[in-house]
Amino acid sequence: MDWDDLRIFLAVARGESLSAAGRRLKIDPATVGRRIARLEEATGARLFAKGPQGYALSDEGTRLLAHAERAETAITGAAEALSGPEGLSGLIRVGAPDGCANYVLPQVLAAICDDNPGLEVQIVALPRVFNLSKREADMAISVSAPTAGRLSVQKISDYHLHLATSHDYLARTGPIRSRADLAGRRMVGYIPDMIFDKELDYLAELGLENARLASNSVSVQFNWLRAGAGVAIVHDFAIPSAPGITTVLKDTFSLTRTFWLIRHLDDRRSERLNRFAEALAQGVRREVARLEALT
């Protein structure tokens, strides 16, 4: 069985379409289709079922997937062994919730790239859970530890959140000295039916109703605060980026959450990804501590 055919098979399985696989591999989708047909002919099995949603793995394709992923890991490991222990190189994609992606990862990954000039990184900032089996990212930072799937899970760091607003908002509406002062205030938060992780249901911990200004994006919520629009529960590590933002009720209300590093289990055999993951975890840990000390 040809490795190049397996590489194309993996791209279709992860992208669920010929066009997505073609973009990933930088080859024409028609060529992808011919190579899949050739692999199906060689194996005597139908590997995909084409439907309205794209290409879905058949039972035979699902059985082949695990073997193809192990072959991919072996090929990658062989290349790393020959390249030696020098600096990291190539492309690595990191998925993260947008709070971490906007306020922590840029400076952490820039520092890692400074130390490894041959390295390219991509940050995928999406307010949802990443599918590592489809290789949406090489690794992901999450706010909760998954309990299913062939994944490795490593705790990176705790982080903290507090109520915050802008000095302008307080000047217009008066001080907030107790929880009772929150009554009638315009709260900013998540869209309830788009909260993808229970760890993000912050307002419930205050016993408050749904936010009057809501977004699935932490950055949008934070920019509402900067505009003087209301009060929100925000990451402490974001506050130093906006001098006009101040915490309120800091001594009486706080939340603690955790960042977890999630990887596909097979990737633990990759020395390159292991080294990058360790640098990433250490960098995030240091940067969260540094930023929180400024609040």
Topology, domain 158-256: D-Maltodextrin-Binding Protein; domain 2 (3.40.190)
Burial profile 212-235: b = 16 or more Cβ within 10 angstroms, e = fewer: ebbbbbbbebbebbeebbbbbbbb
* Domain 90-157+258-293 indexed as CATH 3.40.190.10: yes
How confident is the model over 127-142, as pLDDT tens digits? 555 565 566 788 999 9
- Predicted pLDDT of residue 82: 46
In this predicted structure, which of 51-60, 69-78, 95-104 has the lowest mean pLDDT? 69-78
Tens of pLDDT, residues 230-249: 999 999 999 999 999 999 99
Decide whether 3-83 matches 158-256 in CATH topology. Answer: no
Query: What pLDDT is recorded for position 128?
Result: 59
Q: What is the pLDDT of residue 53?
A: 78
Q: What is the pLDDT of residues 173-190, one digit of tens each?
A: 999 999 999 998 999 999
Question: With pLDDT > 90 as the criterion, what percentage of the chain qualifies?
Answer: 56
Residue ranges per structural domain of the chain? 3-83, 90-157+258-293, 158-256
CATH 1.10.10.10 fits 3-83, yes or no: yes
Strands 139-142 and 255-264: antiparallel
Average pLDDT over residues 31-55: 89
Q: Which of 25-34, 68-77, 148-157 has the lowest mean pLDDT?
A: 68-77
**Radius of gyration, alpha carbons of the chain:** 23
Per-residue pLDDT tens digits for 145-176: 888 777 899 999 999 999 999 999 999 999 99
